[in-house]
Amino acid sequence: MPKTRFTQIGRAIPRREDRRLLTGNGRYVDDIEIPGALHACFVRSPHPHARIVRIDAKAALAMPGVAAVLTGADLAQWTTPLRVAPPIEGLHPVEMTTLPVDKVRFHGDPVACVIARDRYLAEDAAERVEVEYAPLPAVANADQALAEGTALVDESLPSNLVSEQRFSTGDVFARRREAHRVVESAFSQHRQTHLPIETRGCAALWDEGREHLTLHIGSQVPHPLRTQLAARMRLSESQVTISSLDVGGGFGQKIALYREELTVAAASRHLRRPVRWREDRMENLLAASHAREELCRTRAAVTDDGRLLGLELEILEDFGAYCFYPANYLARVVAMILTGPYKVSDYAFVVRVVLTNKCGSGPMRAPMSITSWVMEGTMDAIARELKLDPLEVRRRNMVAAAELPYTMPTGEVIADITPRETLEAAVTRVEYAQFRERQAAARREGRYLGLGLCSVVESTTYGSRFYKAAGIPGSGHEAAWVRIEPSGAVNASLGLGASGQGYETAFSQVVGEGLGVDPASVRIHLGNTDVAPYGMGSRGARGGTAGGATLFLCARDANEKMLAIAAKLLGFDSSEGLRMVEGKVVREVLGERIDTGISFAQLARTAYLDPTALPAGMAPGLDFSRTYDPPPMTYSNAAHVCEVELDVETGAVRILRYVVAEDCGTVLSPVVVEGQQHGAVAMGLSGALLEHMLYDEAAQNITGSLADYLVATATDLPRFEILPMHTPSRGNPVGTKGMAEGGVMGAIGAISNAVNDALAPFGVVAERQPLSPDYLRSLLRGKTP
Amino acid sequence: MDTVDFELSVNGERHAVRAEPRKLLTDVLREDCRLTGTHVGCEHGVCGACTVLVDGRPARACLLYAVQMRGHEITTIEAIAKDGVLSPLQQALHEVHGLQCGFCTAGIVMTFEAYLKENPRPTEEEIRDVLSGNLCRCTGYQNIVEAVLKVVHA
Ligand code: FES
Ligand code: FES
């Protein structure tokens, strides 16, 4: 790993994208001016489950300025349904039309689309569309979904159990029999949503003459989105351009091609007019995408000193009404990587996913968010039952540096991670032993402090071999190009979709490093599928690892060619000893640098405008592209420690301290990495304490505004103390390991463990989130310390 | 619905507007005045993304009708940097990485441009209290607080 030679990678440079965003000059979807654009507004179902009997649009169509009212039947003629049917054992294939044709499946399901002169009129007209429904019994939760004789959410399936997988290695039953104790725990995570502050939205422009569709949209995955959109519009990929400029947050919500977006695109082609749509917040809460509703149970067979002999996991996930992704995909990853940094060889899991009459689920920043809470909560449960110190239980089970690479029971290999080092650093920082004394003293005064530990092993970057092994279709590769123009200006691109991660900054550093030029001279072009190469986009935490490595390798290709030209100009046989340093070619002789007088710009000029001066056989120009497929899986790691005070009278939790020791390998931009750490921990804490997408018993969504769906503000969150402990990965050309989701995983676990530590004197355990005052009070009712 | 004609004064410039009386200030600023720096995050007064100044005081543009603004002076994010120079708060946000996706940023800048004029020396607690009226999904707020503190201690 070429660690020490980096001069640009890892420098703390303020972000290049800031200026336009700070001055109101960003270009988010809705900022793009499109003359003559019509506006779309969706008519949505008030019922969680109902047959569509009749749609009467006469009154709406009679309003001046209303161009069309489109229904599922219209869209079915113009578009192809989405079929999700990967060959995975235990996963049922499913299909969905662009808009529902015969029945609606959740409160907020779109049934018709009004297209009108402006948004106000479109909304008025939507109210005039009369839809007659015949309500059906609704499935409001996972238990109901599995009950005998229950309604079917998807009538093409034999039951609501859309996916079930089992796995077992070793002999967990034997381990249970020989165990000193079998410790059982439960973890119930609640439904949440991504809540980007910019809602979804798009603008479609159909060019009838060229038969070409341009879709402006905020997307994390421009090329995969284009593939889907083209296929479902029955167009070729050469007839569609996706353009995603500034994106006001994604967090996983801006990956799928949603039905609304496809409808808007189809409407534009049908009407031969530009059509745009801006989702309102209520629609975003009700009908964009939800996440995280899952119940996990573990059974740990342990020795009397807290060593893990065997582990069993059950997951039951409520996936909502529609599958935009294979239903097994999120929960399956949790089961695959559950054991994280802990050693155990006998392991079994069963993962079941059910459909209910709620908004469909998808990946949300850390789709496997519950993993660390489940594993670390299990560690705490072991400590509790055996009356051992929770830190000690962790130390006894955690893999040591000498034992790496370590193969998890599922076959996943962890290497180049530092769980012990980060854990010890974090507990040293919070003065663990002294905390226990403070905690005891506070308890004597009737104050309840709690400390929660949570180690995280974050699966950041999926290589194609992981997908293949897991039976999931997909590629993990990334693509990049670097072009040096005749003037020496540098353009570069890759297939990621930015939504606030500072790519233009971090990747200009990567290109600057690879080329040996000032990052300020490099321009990164993202988000337009006609410009960017076909990459897999931004999901998981692959940007820095897959994207950074691809771009670095591509820039090195460019550097190599330029130095070969330099050698020719200097009359040398080879470029050995030549290097580009700050835009100048130098020769290294016995550790000394001698300026050759040749500049980067001169080489660029030569490459394009004086091809006869190039080495024999070399093609003119400086145009490079490259793809790279990372190892099957890349892991980074961290240790989180959270200190809370629980007010036992009110149930309120106050976070007193929050420490993260993290190792994410080579850091491209320390500025960006720290920001991602803050943001991820904040999202985890906000979800664990406040956010809750609530449906009533009849499956009506009762969280349609930000007054109902609570999210953390500046007064709810602490100051985060970050301990950077980065050690490079040997599996990546740049040494990066990825990050940005682990913060969520750690926060969910650390806060829960801290609250349970505070609750310990009362003999109760919080097994579900959110850790709301109501819930904590209900646990404490009638209990005394 | 019938439209009305009125004048709007934004960033010291007069705009002749023809719009329905129910048209929100956010939409008129963005569509009629073509000032798209003011963002819309919720349209129900919670997220703070749409914050502008009305006669120097912060207001949520999504809760106002544009016609109500006759006779008032509106300031938006586009007027904060002067001659291409960022304001001290904008500069501090840049230096300490107080923005990520940037969608909430205009509302936060407008909120504190006004607040710091009246309260030039707030404590961290007071800053967090004021900031709690703006939602940011990306930053965890810490670096925004840091940026304001940087201006306060400059
Ligand atoms: S858009 Fe006005 S407060 Fe959210
Ligand atoms: S920076 Fe994205 S919402 Fe604040």
Is B47 in Cβ contact with A197 (below 8 Å)? yes
Those residues whose C-beta lies under 8 Å from the C-beta of residue A80, and which sit 6 or more positions away, are A231, A232, A233, A234
Summary mean pLDDT of chain A? 96
Q: How far apart are CA A29 and CA A37, in angstroms?
A: 13
**Average pLDDT for residues A372-400, to the nearest whole number?**
98
Q: How far apart are CA A496 and CA A634, in angstroms?
A: 18
- Token pair belonging to A514: 């690879």
pLDDT in tens, B12-59: 999 999 999 999 999 999 999 999 999 999 999 999 999 999 999 999
- With tokens 């664990």, the residue in question is A688
Q: Which residues, numbered 328 to 387 in chain A, qualify as contacts with chain B under a Cβ-Cβ cut-off of 8 Å?
A: none
Q: Which residues, numbered 70 to 109 in chain B, qualify as contacts with chain A under a Cβ-Cβ cut-off of 8 Å?
A: 76-78, 80-81, 86, 90, 93-95, 97, 99-106, 109
Going by pLDDT thresholds of 50, 70 and 90, the confidence category of residue A529 is very high
Residue type, B61: A
Q: Choose the residue to mutate in B39, B44, B76 for probing ligand 1, maximizing ligand atoms within 8 Å of C-beta.
A: B44
| pLDDT number for residue A540 | 81
Those residues whose C-beta lies under 8 Å from the C-beta of residue A459, and which sit 6 or more positions away, are A333, A336, A337, A368, A412, A540, A633, A634, A635
Q: How far apart are CA A768 and CA A244, in angstroms?
A: 38
CA A598 vs. chain centroid, Å, equals 45
B34 touches chain A (CB under 8 A): yes
Residue type, B129: D
Please name the helix (run of DSSP H) or strand (run of DSSP E) that holds residue A457, with its range, or none: strand A448-462
| pLDDT number for residue A472 | 73
Q: Which of A311, A361, A300 is nearest to A331 (CA)?
A: A361
DSSP A736: B
Q: How far away, in angstroms, is A580 Cα from ligand 2 center?
A: 38
Decide: A535 and A471 in contact? Cβ < 8 Å: no
Domains in chain A (CATH in brackets) are 18-25+477-628 (3.30.365.10), 32-136+195-288 (3.90.1170.50), 366-461+633-779 (3.30.365.10)
- With tokens 């779309």, the residue in question is A40
A679 CB neighbours in chain B (<8 A) are 100, 137-140
Going by pLDDT thresholds of 50, 70 and 90, the confidence category of residue A590 is confident
Nearest chain B residue to A670 by CA distance is: B97
Reduce the secondary structure of chain B to three states and give it as a string. CCCEEEEEEECCEEEEEEECCCCEHHHHHHHHCCCCCCCCCCCCCCCCCCEEEECCEEEEHHHCEHHHHCCCEEECHHHCCECCECCHHHHHHHHCCCCCCCCCHHHHHHHHHHHHHHCCCCCHHHHHHHHCCCCCCCCCCHHHHHHHHHHHCC
- For residue A515, CA distances in Å to A98, A487, A532, B121 come to 46, 15, 19, 46
Q: A144 in the Ramachandran plot: left (φ > 0), alpha (ψ -120 to 50) or beta?
A: alpha
B94 CB neighbours in chain A (<8 A) are 14-15, 18-19, 22
Is A19 in Cβ contact with B94 (below 8 Å)? yes
Is A714 in Cβ contact with B127 (below 8 Å)? yes
DSSP 3-state assignment of A473? coil
Instruction: Tell me if the bond preceding A405 is cis, omega within 30° of 0.
Output: yes
Q: How far apart are CA A63 and CA B142, in angstroms?
A: 50
Q: What are phi and psi of A57, to 5 degrees?
A: -105, 10
| pLDDT number for residue A473 | 73
Q: What are phi and psi of A658, to 5 degrees?
A: -145, 115
Decide: A333 and A91 in contact? Cβ < 8 Å: no
CB atoms within 10 A of CB A550: 30
Reduce the secondary structure of A658-720 to three states and give it as a string. EEEEEECECCCCHHHHHHHHHHHHHHHHHHHHCCCCCECCCCCECCCCCCCCCCCCCCCCCCE
Going by pLDDT thresholds of 50, 70 and 90, the confidence category of residue A467 is confident
- Token pair belonging to A552: 């670095």
**Global confidence as pTM:** 0.97
**Average pLDDT for residues A332-338, to the nearest whole number?**
95
CA A256 vs. chain centroid, Å, equals 12
Please name the helix (run of DSSP H) or strand (run of DSSP E) that holds residue A420, with its range, or none: helix A419-429
DSSP A769: S
Going by pLDDT thresholds of 50, 70 and 90, the confidence category of residue A2 is very low
Decide: A398 and A390 in contact? Cβ < 8 Å: no
Nearest chain B residue to A196 by CA distance is: B137
pLDDT at A3 over 60: no
Domains in chain B (CATH in brackets) are 4-79 (3.10.20.30), 88-152 (1.10.150.120)
User: What residue owns the CA closest to ligand 2's atom 3?
Assistant: B136
Decide: A286 and A701 in contact? Cβ < 8 Å: yes
- Token pair belonging to B82: 């002067």
Q: What percent of chain A has pLDDT over 90?
A: 96
Q: How far away, in angstroms, is A42 Cα from ligand 1 center?
A: 21
Q: Pairing between strand A346-354 and A308-318?
A: parallel
Q: With a 6 A CB cut-off, is B46 part of the ligand 2 pocket? A: no
Q: With a 6 A CB cut-off, is A675 part of the ligand 2 pocket? A: no
| pLDDT number for residue A408 | 97
Q: With a 6 A CB cut-off, is B98 part of the ligand 1 pocket? A: no
**Average pLDDT for residues A339-366, to the nearest whole number?**
97
Question: With b meaning 16 or more CB within 10 Å and e meaning fewer, what string describes A585-623?
Answer: bbbeeeeeeeebebbbbbbbbbbbeeeeebeeeeeebbb
pLDDT at A689 over 70: yes
Q: How far apart are CA A260 and CA A78, in angstroms?
A: 14
Going by pLDDT thresholds of 50, 70 and 90, the confidence category of residue A469 is confident
Please name the helix (run of DSSP H) or strand (run of DSSP E) that holds residue A460, with its range, or none: strand A448-462
pLDDT in tens, A663-677: 999 999 999 999 999
Q: How far apart are CA A394 and CA A313, in angstroms?
A: 19
Q: How far away, in angstroms, is B39 Cα from ligand 1 center?
A: 8
CB atoms within 10 A of CB A158: 9
pLDDT at A471 over 90: no
Of A322-331, A376-385, A753-762, least confident by mean pLDDT is: A322-331
What would the DSSP string read from start to end of A86-138?
A: ---TTB--EEE-SS-SSEE-STT-EEEEEEESSHHHHHHHHHH-EEEEEE---
DSSP 3-state assignment of A751? helix
Those residues whose C-beta lies under 8 Å from the C-beta of residue A524, and which sit 6 or more positions away, are A492, A493, A494, A503, A504, A507, A508, A511
**Average pLDDT for residues A26-31, to the nearest whole number?**
98
What end-to-end distance do the CA atoms of chain B give, in Å?
52
Q: How far is A748 from chain B (nearest CA, A)?
A: 15
Question: With b meaning 16 or more CB within 10 Å and e meaning fewer, what string describes A52-64?
Answer: beebebeebeeee
Q: Which of B125, B135, B138 is nearest to B148 (CA)?
A: B125
The dihedral over CA atoms of A359, A363, A366, A367, expressed in degrees to the nearest 10, equals: 80
Q: How far away, in angstroms, is A131 Cα from ligand 1 center?
A: 31
What would the DSSP string read from start to end of A196-253?
A: -SS--EEEEEEETTTTEEEEEE--S-HHHHHHHHHHHHT--GGGEEEE--B-S--TTT
- For residue A88, CA distances in Å to A215, A464, A470 come to 32, 16, 8
Decide: A428 and A418 in contact? Cβ < 8 Å: no
Q: With a 6 A CB cut-off, is B46 part of the ligand 1 pocket? A: yes
Burial class of residue A93 in the structure, from the number of CB atoms within 10 Å of its CB (0-12 exposed, 13-18 middle, 19+ buried) = middle
- Token pair belonging to A21: 């965003």
Q: What percent of chain A has pLDDT over 70?
A: 99
Of A1-10, A68-77, A217-226, A321-330, least confident by mean pLDDT is: A1-10
pLDDT in tens, A619-642: 999 999 999 999 999 999 999 999
pLDDT at A1 over 60: no
* Count, residues in chain B: 154
pLDDT in tens, A179-234: 999 999 999 999 999 999 999 999 999 999 999 999 999 999 999 999 999 999 99
Q: What are phi and psi of A98, to 5 degrees?
A: -65, -45
Q: With a 6 A CB cut-off, is B50 part of the ligand 1 pocket? A: yes
